[in-house]
Amino acid sequence: MREYAKSINDHYSRIDLEKNILATRENAGIDLQALFRDDISSFDEFHISGRDATDELV
């Protein structure tokens, strides 16, 4: 389990993660001032059950 936790921490503690995500969206032609749910779902809803789990949590 420790390796799993380390993997998660390594992924989310990367330097400039937010900048990389926004740059990727911008390079795809997405207006960062008018983001929609579908604009971020490819990396935000990759957990088990995807959008359905997010909806249920909300």
Domain range annotation of the chain: 2-57
Helix (H, G, I), strand (E, B) or coil at 10: helix
Task: State the pLDDT at residue 32.
Answer: 92
Q: How far apart are CA 51 and CA 11, in angstroms?
A: 21
Task: State the pLDDT at residue 1.
Answer: 63
Percent pLDDT > 90 in the chain is 17
Task: State the pLDDT at residue 11.
Answer: 78
Beta carbons of 32 and 25 less than 8 angstroms apart:
yes
Q: Is the pLDDT of residue 18 over 80?
A: yes
